[in-house]
Amino acid sequence: MNLEFAVPSQIKEAQKKLYPLIIPVGTIEYHGPHCAYGCDGLIAQGLVDKLSLEREIFIAPTIWYSPASYAVAGIESGSIHVDCDCFETYVEYVLQHLVYSGWKNIYMLIHHQYEDENLLPMTLACMKAGKKVIFKYMDETKGLGWWGNKENETFYETLQEGENPWNWINVLPCMSKEAQHATGYDHAGKYEASMLMALYPEALKMDLLPMSNEWFIQSAKDASIELGNKMVELSMKDLRERIN
């Protein structure tokens, strides 16, 4: 279910049953003349929508404005880059209010600068924001010095038996490094275009590809729905295992 359509009773029931709350994290970033600016977020959304057909999950609105960077093209390209520190603060506030309202099983799903699951600015910002929220929550609900308190001397031994606060917020790639190695990973080329083709074909205008001679998009001419479906299925396999 989409969070923005939910009523309070539905949210409380989902929180009680620890349904996953998944937040797609995207960008508005130049992907060549043939590929939609929202490519990254659309891929995350598309995978989450597929997962929602298989199990009970809640889907939060996609975060669109983020640290896109201008590594691919300058500001004139139409990319919208948000400073990493500002983004981290924004994400921290979003996660803080989700956790304090009762969500304890949150996943942020990213398909931007996540080659081989390297920890680049967007991913690091989300991870750091999540850990800051958890520490703040523990301090405020259990009191300062909670970990050192005698009552918590078995904290680590009991993590697997009950609630584990370190697992309340997880940051995941849309494609694990294993899935990337099984097919491929690029920016607006053969692989990303294929994946987008499988999830949102209307977001691709392949007839516009010849408008640019940029090196990173030339392989998009070899994109196919068959490859895209394979990439989607490999991604779904990993997400089924990682999202509990």
Kindly report the three-state secondary structure assignment for every residue of the chain: CEHHHCCHHHHHHHHHCCCCEEEEECCECCCCCCECCCHHHHHHHHHHHHHHCCCCCEECCCECCECCCCCCCCHHHCCEECCHHHHHHHHHHHHHHHHHHCCCCEEEEECCCCHHHCCCHHHHHHHHHHHHHHHHHHHHHHCCCCCCCHHHCCCCCCCCCCCCHHHCEEEEECCCHHHHHHCCCCCCCHHHHHHHHHHCHHHECHHHHHHCCCHHHHHHHHCCHHHHHHHHHHHHHHHHHHCC
pTM reported for the whole predicted model? 0.94
Q: Please report whether residue 186 resides in a domain.
A: no
Say yes or no to pLDDT of 25 above 80: yes
Number of domains in the chain: 1
CATH code assigned at 139: 3.40.50.10310
Q: Please report whether residue 189 resides in a domain.
A: no
List pLDDT tens digits, range 181-214. Answer: 999 999 999 999 999 999 999 999 999 999 999 9
Average pLDDT estimate for 213-224: 97
List pLDDT tens digits, range 106-148. Answer: 999 999 999 999 999 999 999 999 999 999 999 999 899 888 8
List pLDDT tens digits, range 168-182. Answer: 999 999 999 999 999
**Domain coverage including residue 120:** 3-175
Q: Please report whether residue 103 resides in a domain.
A: yes
Q: Please report whether residue 207 resides in a domain.
A: no
Q: Please report whether residue 220 resides in a domain.
A: no
List pLDDT tens digits, range 74-89. Answer: 999 999 999 999 999 9
